Structure 1
Amino acid sequence: MYTMLFKEIALEIDEDDGNSVNNLIAFCRNKGAPESELRQFQHGYQQKSPIWCYSQEIFLYGMLNCALRSLDMETMAKMGFFIRKLHQQLRQLHEKQARSFMKQFIVYRGQGLPQDDFENLVDTKGGLLSFNNFLSTSKHQHVAMGFVERTLNKYENHVGILFTMTINPSKISISKTPFALIDEHSAAPQEEEILFSMHAVFRIDVIKQTEQNSRVWEVHLTLTDDHDPQLAALTDRMKKEIDGSRWHRMAKLMYKLGHFNQAEELYKELLKNASGDSDSALIYHQLGYLKGEQGEYKDAVGFYEKALKIYQKTLPE
């Protein structure tokens, strides 16, 4: 749910690419990303494409998907511009490749799951499975099985999962979760990879153990637009709570997820570029609320007083 809201907000934000790239590079450098990989990313983003950067064997792929899985809002926000550009490129490619996706087809994904996660997956059979990250799949089963085998060799306690995914373009809304064959734009073009944008939702149809290996299970999924009614109701409520425009919504989402320091930093950045007195007053009010929730009441009062002064100055008596 939260990644869906983040995606919705990130796609709304239109920011300067140059500053965003430089800010991300500085952020990743502080996180320990190798200088050579930072240079590769900067060159690739300027000279190639988001897909090319994403498919390179550098820090970006792991850092982005780890942040999306763990809801690391600080990293997600820094990478928001890249998420938007990658989503847009997938949508544009899908439009160009539309003739190739007229009929139902199957793609494969191989991965390993800890035993507890696998049991949770089994318990949700018949329900929905959402992939919060960008989803890499292949048209070839043997490519996916290669990932499964490498995982099982590396982790003794993991269960190997071969996802068999049925895609029927006529029954889904491509605008929500575009996908495309990315080989011509990829840094690793030999896999016939079909990449889905983040938050692809599938229905779990069949889960069965393979005859060849008791540690490997086949999970049959169908891409769907279906939504769980309870989840939809909760999401609608969250959207109402996280109202406002663009970066204001991002700050509220950070607060909702408990990332108070990041929310405060973002509000202070918004304050520097406030569009007027009413915008400044709103931000001060939000900062006051944020500090109150943290139990820092003296700071909360200070921010509320600043908001009140602006309201007294600008509102009619």
Structure 2
Amino acid sequence: MHLEQLHSLYKPSLESRVFTVYRGLSMPSIDFEQKISGEKGNLIAFDSFLSTSLDENVAKLFASYKQDPKNESVVFSIEIDADRMERPFADISRWSNFKNEREVLFSIGTVFRIDDVADQKTSDGIWMVRLSTVSEKDEQLQKEVQQIQLTLLKFFENVLHAQRDAKDDRKIPASNANVASMYYKQGEYEDSLLFYEKALETLNKLESSDPITKATYISNVAKVHVALKHYDKALDFYKEALNIRCHECEPNDPSLIHTLHTIGHIYRGKEDWNAALEQYQEALKLQLLSLESDLLSDPSSIAVTYICI
């Protein structure tokens, strides 16, 4: 099962909305000093799935596996507030080969705040670090994310200018799309639309181009129109992208199914229940062709539409 599905089952079953998990690891001393020690109040992000345990002793066991004497044994004690956690997480002990580890898995990109770092190691040579849940609406997190996005935006704009000067036409569409993506994340939808349209325009000028890439750019244009509440325009672009994917993709391709699902959502927002139901049913039919599809259907979408008819 996907983590999102497990999360939807696990979260309502929690006996307590606030609980503690533990993560033990051995990390280079320089990383501990620069990123953890003395960084109280700062944020820490995990760029991969985060495996934790409900058992502190399990975490300490992992922390003690220190092969390099230059490494530090660290245990993160993480207070989880389920009502503030937007990213998926779940107890996966049932599916683990090591059920006694009582593993709780968090999705990629989960962010926590460093609440406290012990002044000294425990008697068994472990640094204890307390972390807590950070909402994605947290002001400090939003400021840091915005700063990163602005830095990336400037970088992509510089790359785009360099490619134009060098007349490197084949790379210009992707650079336009990167700039558009950064504007979209900043909520600058008009600028985002402008650069996505430029990406599509420059792609169409190439003698040969990948149709799937074209469908992606068209979907991006549609996505911005949704953000701008231009729903009819969004539908036109999504249908154009869908037409390309129908000819180029396998029937159970996740992008094809996702496009159908998105069109269904737009129709549902327009209260065109029959059209929405048609899209959801088509998406579900394609998904049932393969049990290994990466994008799993949300049956509640069809249920909600039936209720509205």
After TM superposition, the score normalised by the length of structure 2 is 0.48
| Relative contact order, higher structure (CA 8 A, sep 6+) | 1
Structure exhibiting the larger radius of gyration computed from Cα positions? 2
After TM superposition, the score normalised by the length of structure 1 is 0.47
